[in-house]
Structure 1
């Protein structure tokens, strides 16, 4: 199922080029995360810990466009 991208106001992002870039970025991120996950498993790290660390990384991303 394809992700429906939305703006903060709830309206849908419909621009084909924007959606293409989002899709490509997500696939690159997914592949990089998969590679890092497999590396950590090969180094005998705990799967649950790897997943928790990845979640921390994502949760810690900063919005450089925040208007605060």
Structure 2
């Protein structure tokens, strides 16, 4: 699925690796606190954080907070 949303020169495995690294960076950097949810979009083969995109419904705090 990710492969179809990104540039043709990147394989799905490469995209998943990039996303996994981005998530690891957030965990290692101590950004994950208090059931905070982060959303990412891809542009030019790179993932970047988006704040409150219209397509996302936050649920963690509602269910577990």
Which one has a larger percent helix, Structure 1 or Structure 2? 1
**Fold shared per TM-score above 0.5:** no
Q: Which of 1 and 2 has higher RCO (CA within 8 Å, sep 6+)?
A: 2
In the superposition, the TM-score normalised over structure 1's length comes to 0.38
In the superposition, the TM-score normalised over structure 2's length comes to 0.39
